[in-house]
């Protein structure tokens, strides 16, 4: 447990706490199955955290040395969090407080290590009204996790899967000293481009209206400067899962939903990162064929709400565009009673 008041670490051995051991097992299952992660790799096997983990994994028969290394890792986190707080304190932002859990385990013969920072809060025991501390079973109280694959302890590089509920760089950069497998700009572009191509293949010909609406929603979601962390699964939930189709069939939607869920692994982008709106700026430009010799070019997706389509009694199709530019209006306006819809 991390003592933030005294900048110190208090050790807890879960092997002596049967009920808490059950909690750790549940945590391992949750972290192992969590797909809202980002992939990193070690920059060296000599950095403090991974070096300590490798020494622990290779010397499981020396409990005193193991405890010493775990203490060293936890103390490093305390230092890094204190430094991070000093950097962000002027913005009235606080580093989330919690406890560090270290778990070394095997999953189907694969050796892994999990580091997890989870909320550790005080509460009053209703039996004697004494103040106690504990952990919530709510997975939303898991602030940050890192899972290392340790199959080959002699490898030159180790892969790590990181989950974080914020964009806190100190967790992966300062504390764990990891390197992003893909930077935010690459992730932003690959995510948008992969989803766009998937939607176009499935909907462009059969459900063009749905295709346009969903893509516009995706652009708006990824272009939101107020969103601290981009989460792919959350985006799909927001723009697609609850979407009521116009032309897309229920079967098309189910198949497309399954396809979209597989895209990150198939196309090689992370499910969590900090979106860079500038990376997809050109994606806002859309061109539509209107008639022979006439094309409609839209440079801001948000302005598509100013365009509506209708069909007259004779079957002729029109687009109606709301204008804010007087010169453009006067260029096409007629000054007599013929200035009317035909």
Tell me, what's the pLDDT at 25?
86
Tell me, what's the pLDDT at 131?
56
Q: Where are the alpha helices (DSSP H) in the chain?
A: 18-33, 48-58, 63-88, 169, 184-203, 208-222, 232-236, 250-267, 326-332
For residue 303, what are the contacts with CB-CB under 8 A and spacing of at least 6? none
Torsion of CA 108, 109, 113, 114, to 10 degrees: 10
| Cα angle value 179/180/185 (rounded, 5°) | 140
How far apart CA 144 and CA 115 sit, in angstroms, is 8
* CA distances for 177 relative to 41, 68, 154, angstroms: 9, 20, 19
Tell me, what's the pLDDT at 168?
82
Contact 120, 98 (CB under 8 A): yes
Tell me, what's the pLDDT at 229?
87
Tell me, what's the pLDDT at 137?
66
Tell me, what's the pLDDT at 150?
96
Tell me, what's the pLDDT at 19?
73
Tell me, what's the pLDDT at 198?
97
Tell me, what's the pLDDT at 335?
62
Tell me, what's the pLDDT at 20?
75
Q: What is the pLDDT along the chain (342 residues), one digit of tens a residue?
A: 555 555 666 666 666 677 777 888 888 999 989 988 999 999 999 999 999 999 999 998 888 889 999 999 999 999 999 898 898 878 777 787 788 899 999 988 899 999 999 887 655 555 665 555 566 666 667 889 999 999 999 999 999 999 988 878 899 999 999 999 999 999 999 999 999 999 999 999 999 999 999 999 999 999 986 777 899 999 999 999 999 999 999 999 999 999 999 999 999 999 999 999 999 999 988 899 999 999 999 887 766 778 999 999 999 999 999 988 999 998 988 765 555 554
């Amino acid at each position: 447990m991390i003592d933030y008041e005294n900048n110190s670490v208090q050790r807890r051995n879960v092997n002596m706490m049967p009920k808490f051991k059950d909690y750790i097992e549940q945590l391992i299952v949750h972290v192992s199955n969590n797909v809202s992660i980002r992939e990193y790799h070690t920059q060296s096997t000599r950095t403090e955290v991974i070096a300590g983990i490798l020494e622990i994994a290779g010397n499981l028969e020396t409990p005193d040395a193991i405890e010493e290394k775990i203490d060293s890792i936890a103390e490093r986190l305390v230092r890094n969090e204190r430094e991070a707080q000093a950097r962000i304190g002027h913005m009235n932002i606080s580093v989330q407080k919690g406890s560090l859990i270290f778990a070394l385990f095997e999953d189907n013969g694969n050796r892994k290590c999990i580091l997890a920072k989870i909320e550790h809060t005080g509460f009053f025991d209703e039996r004697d009204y004494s103040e106690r501390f504990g952990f919530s079973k709510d997975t939303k109280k898991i602030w940050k996790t890192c899972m290392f694959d340790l199959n080959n302890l002699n490898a030159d590089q180790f892969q790590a899967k990181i989950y974080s509920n914020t964009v806190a760089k100190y967790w992966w950069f300062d504390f764990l000293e990891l390197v992003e497998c893909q930077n935010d700009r690459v992730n932003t572009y690959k995510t948008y481009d992969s989803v766009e191509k998937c939607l176009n293949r499935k909907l462009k010909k059969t459900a063009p209206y749905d295709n346009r609406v969903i893509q516009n929603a995706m652009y708006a979601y990824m272009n939101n400067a107020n969103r601290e962390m981009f989460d792919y699964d959350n985006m799909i939930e927001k723009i697609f899962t609850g979407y009521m189709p116009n032309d897309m069939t229920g079967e098309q939607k189910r198949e497309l939903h399954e396809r979209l869920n597989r895209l990150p692994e198939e196309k090689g982008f992370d499910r969590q990162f900090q979106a860079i709106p500038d990376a997809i700026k050109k994606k806002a430009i859309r061109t539509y064929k209107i008639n022979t010799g006439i094309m409609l070019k839209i440079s801001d997706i948000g302005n598509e709400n100013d365009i509506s389509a209708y069909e007259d009694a004779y079957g002729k199709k029109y687009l109606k565009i709301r204008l804010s530019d007087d010169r453009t209006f006067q260029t096409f306006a007629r000054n007599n009673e013929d200035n009317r819809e035909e």
